[in-house]
Amino acid sequence: MAGYVTNLLLLALLVFILVLVIRTRRLFPVVVLAGAYSLVSAAMFVNLDAVDVAFTEAAVGAGISTVLFLAAMAYLPGIEKTPPEAKGIGHILPALIICIIAGLLLVAAAIELPPVGDPTAPPHVHVAPRYLEESGSFLHIPNVVTTVLASYRGFDTFGEVVVVFTAGLGVLVLLAGFTRTARIAKSGKTGIDGGEGDDA
């Protein structure tokens, strides 16, 4: 019961943070709020028995993501120019309609799902019991999540490493010579390459 109440409180906190993110115009608070969102969801994961996910989310989602955002913010303007609300209802109405329709469709589907924690729900009766019962005597690793991640589904994890490598490669390619370009753009404003634009 205490777990259920904690769950509700954390969900309420998440909704509160979301509303703040939508309403805040300065980007630094928005980024910090996104970090807080990750941290609160990590607390939720602990409450829902997913301890491995919780510390990954706290370290990677709330830590590394926020650091990446802050590092990028050093080069970017710190405030949103005109919030879409300021441009009149016509600017946010289509987005609102799309979100409400999609949300209602999802609610219609979610109502049919078995309740949270139901032991007879399909995900709990298929392959999970086998992992829980056999992995201990088979591989002698007490943490079942680690067993599945590194052993039963090792290729999945290998694919994940490839994805991260590709993303790192993409970032390197995109940012190669970035500081140089930024410097040229800055010096362009002071008129050094002004001649280049004249023949246009």
Report residue 83 as tokens: 């919030």
Q: Based on the shown chain and the rule CB under 8 A, indicate whether residue 20 belongs to the binding site for another protein.
A: no
Residues 96-125 touching another protein, rule: CB under 8 A, are 96, 98-100, 102-103, 106-107, 110-111, 113, 115-119, 121, 123-124
Amino acid 112 reads: E
Sign of the Cα torsion 60, 66, 69, 74 reads: negative
Read off φ and ψ for residue 192, nearest 5 degrees. -70, -45
**CB 6 → another protein: shortest distance, Å?**
12
CA 150 to chain centre: 23
Q: Based on the shown chain and the rule CB under 8 A, indicate whether residue 134 belongs to the binding site for another protein.
A: no
Q: Contact with another protein (CB under 8 A): which of 94, 155, 190, 191?
A: 94
Residues 61-80 touching another protein, rule: CB under 8 A, are 61, 64-65, 68-69, 71-73, 75-77, 80
Q: How far apart are CA 77 and CA 75, in angstroms?
A: 7
Residue placing its CB nearer to another protein in the complex, 77 or 191: 77
Counting every residue written for the chain, the total comes to: 200
Amino acid 103 reads: G
How many chain residues are in contact with another protein, going by CB under 8 A? 102
Q: Contact with another protein (CB under 8 A): which of 138, 154, 181, 192?
A: 181
Q: Are 35 and 62 in contact (CB under 8 A)?
A: yes
What CA–CA distances, in Å, run from 46 to 57, 123, 188, 189? 11, 20, 52, 52
Residues 28-67 touching another protein, rule: CB under 8 A, are 30-31, 33-34, 37-38, 41, 44-45, 48-53, 56-57, 60-61, 64-65
Q: Are 32 and 62 in contact (CB under 8 A)?
A: no
Q: Contact with another protein (CB under 8 A): which of 154, 182, 187, 192?
A: 182
Q: Contact with another protein (CB under 8 A): which of 138, 154, 164, 187?
A: 164
**CB 7 → another protein: shortest distance, Å?**
7
